[in-house]
Structure 1
Amino acid sequence: MMRFYISLFLVIIFQLTFSQVSKNEAIINQLDEIKTTNPSLTISISSKLLKEKLSLRDQAYVYRALGYANISIGKYSTAQEYIQKAYDVANESGDTLCKIKTTCSMGEWNGMLGLYSEMDHDLSRALKLSRLLNGDNYYTAITKINTIKANMYVNQDKHTLAKKYILKNLSLLKNIKNVSNYNKTLTLSYLGLGDIYNRGTKKADSAIYFYEKGLNIVLKSPDKINLYKFYIGLAEAFAHKKEYNKGIDLCHIALKIKHNSDYEKVFIFKSISKLYLEANKTKEAQIYSDSATIFEEKGEKHLLEALNETNNNKIKTIENKEKQISLLSIIIPVLIGIFILITIFYYLNLKKQKKKFQNYIENLNNSTSTPSEIAIENLSAVTPEINSELEIEILQKLKIFEKEEKFRDKEISLPALAALLNTNTNYLSRIINDHYSKNFNSYINELRINYITKKIAENPVYRNYKISFLAEDCGFVSHSAFSTKFKEITGISPSQFLSFASAEK
């Protein structure tokens, strides 16, 4: 029963969480639809959404919507801040489609400022990212990039290039399953083709055909994006046919559209003024020309502020890079110097270690007698004492012990050796101290190290063994104890000794 209540509780929590996520996603999608046509509502909803706990992806989309909304109301500096925020947060989110959309928005913004090289860079990055997508998302991203590129070329009067990207989009339409994205791509393609025929080839009838097809779709859509552009495009096309009154009427319809930004109003006022002038109505033409100037000055001021801010940010970025380069110009030589000193120290130390190796091998080769044989020779050279015969006997037994390599036994100890030699530990310890000038442990360790170094020097097979095997072979219980005593006696580490021995032979 308890399990049932826990499961029920988890299901309720999941549904509440999921419904909240779905609700936020639906609101964010709606913001995308109204961001330019209803900026005040977009700003109001976005402000409330940002107070909630949103994912980085959703935050990026909200900032993006705020960017476009602020463009619509002529607050270009604020728009720039939000577009930059959207771009930065999207990059943190890891969501590829979100990155593409915000990068495209950055490209559109740079295009609006006339920074076409930056715009082209943004679109190239978006195109690269789009290759990571598939299905509907991929085609949505590609058509978005193509649309922005087409608009850029239309604004630069490069109509052939613009038409190329529009036709690409029309060929990709069949792959877009999302109805909203399909309609947006189609209407923007019709708008682009209308502009090309209207302003490029001056084919008024073709322009009217595409404008009207696009207008019919936009009028049925809830967001009505770019509605004013279709009316102004039609007005200009009718003007080419000398139908000025029809064109003026269409401009006035465009002027009545709610939420037109200052930028859009300038565009509409200039179009009306131009049509009145062509219709020889100079008084009306002047009125709308003055209106265009007022809004243009206001808009240009804000755009200039935004452009200056963009340039200042670029300057700061360049200055920071220059500082980093300046710092690197100091750090790199220092690091190179340190590297050279370390290299010199390493090779000097290597040379020193090699000398120790060579001296040790030379002494090893020159020493043909065991320590006990040397002790016996030294004892026989002096005047015999009371205990000399007993000492010689012990030394002879130690000589046999060394020859038979019994020091390799891991269990060997002072008591064990004393028992083997039929003497007591005190007497044996004194003999070792007197004749070898070392204690029992040092005596055994030196025999072991001399044994294994001779094996390494004379038998190439030993140079391929692991240090743990060498330690065990000569009688050491542990790898670490062997390494410590090896370096203490030879002056170099076992691994270095093996390396030098391999190089020598």
Structure 2
Amino acid sequence: MPKQLSILFLTIFNLTVCFSQTNKYSSIELENFKSKFYLNRKIGIDSSLYYMDKLSQSDNISYKTFAYAAIEYLKTREKQPVDINYYKNTIQSSLLNIPETKQNYSMLFDIYILLGNTNKRRNLIKPALDHYLKAENYALQSDDVERIIKIKGNIALIYQDMDELEKALLKGKETLALLEEKKQVLGNKYLTQKYKTELNLGAIYTTLYKKDTLNHKFIDSALTHYNKLLKNKDLNNEDYYTARIYYSLGTAYSLKKEYGNANMYLDKSLTLFKKVNSLSYLYKANYNSGYNHFMSNDYDKAKKHFLHALNLKKDTLLDYNYINTLNYLSKIYSQQKKIDSANYFLNSFLKAYSKMSTKERQQFKEAYKIDKETDFKKKIHKLNKQTYLYTLLISILVLTLIVAGIFIIKNKREKNKAKSKLDELLAKHSNSEYNLNTSNRIKINDEQHQQIIDGLFKIEKNHYYLKEDFNLYNAAKKIGTNTTYLSNVIKKYKKMSFNDYTNELRIDYIAKLLTNDKKIRSYTTQAIAEIAGYKNAKSFTRIFKKYTGITPYQFIEKINKEL
């Protein structure tokens, strides 16, 4: 019996604890917890999640379901890990237990709009629209003007995402008309909704113009809505709101290809977005500025903005702007002949592009008007080929300059040498009393060597070296010695070979003759060659140039000019 009483006591205690835990919040507390969700940007995500967690512990099924929907939305928006199946099943089962009575319409509206927002964040457009339409139904049934206007704006945006722009425009106009009709009822909330609606309508008209750039009424209507917002200080009384208007104006002018106006407004938006630390819009505005400068061929400024955009891209989720930023940077660096950087960004682009699904690739090509037949791998090959050709061209150019430089220096030295030698020859032979550096001036102690030197003197004096049959053997025979002795003596005392000795005597002779005899200068090269002891003009010309640096013809030409 005591054991049974103990079990009964524990059961009652547990039920009491459970009851007290699930029913400890009053309706005022529950509503206060719920309000913390709408303050999430002010109090911080962690604080909002904390209050939503407390709200999820309530035994009130409506607030509990709202809490689950709010947690799922916040985690999705902040890219935090979230168990999608758990929240989906929990929320769906909970919704079945909420009676569809008038007192629950407002809560059901709030839950379904959260579900729609979550699906939209996940790019699940059709499920998002279904939830928004259910939310609209509850707003209409409860005749809640504020909620009706809010959901119509959301539906307009979702139709825009679905590319059903006429429906989006219709919803936007309905919202604007309702706003003006219920202006007094809305009170202070009128301005906020007015701002959002005008901005949304401008965005819809902008998208319509993207589809039909020949219809300028669309872009003019967009600019009308944006300028209306800009002029009304009550509608842009905060830096963030004003920045959004500048950004929208910049985007519109960019579509009109008025890049000067576009950059002016985008620069203003960047200043304000930086001030309020709106990273997402800083990223988008930098991308748009980069695009405008690229289209204006201002590649340095384009590169600066594109690189800023990449630095602001902190998450790993791919988006079209990020992928196309890589594409544009590869083009810019390629244009600037910075091939390594061009290759880096093109490879990064291809890597990101390869992660896209077939449908996303098609949408990307259409969104950025990329040729469907573009083969990006060919671009890599082309850049690599450009790198190779550029390097080869530079190498060839440098090598050519080096060779040309060597040739010029060598040629200049040869010309200076030839000129010096020619001047020396002219000076030497212009004197009619010219005497060779004759052998009799050499005094040698060796009697046999002296005899050979004296014999060479006679050969030089009698011009025996001019004879066609003059050679080492005949010269030795004439002097009365042998070829070995003669060759050694010439090498020792003349510092040259017998052939060089013979050629020097002949060239010296003919140079003097040409200098002093005008008649000889009129002879043919062959005739002059024969006078000098050579059989043909070709060998004579070659030897003459070797010793003087110029041809016989050039030598004669110079003498005729100077004498």
TM-score class, shorter-chain normalisation, is 0.3 to 0.5
Structure-2-length-normalised TM-score: 0.43
Higher relative contact order (CA 8 A, sep 6+): 1
Query: Which is higher, the Rg of structure 1 or of structure 2?
Result: 2
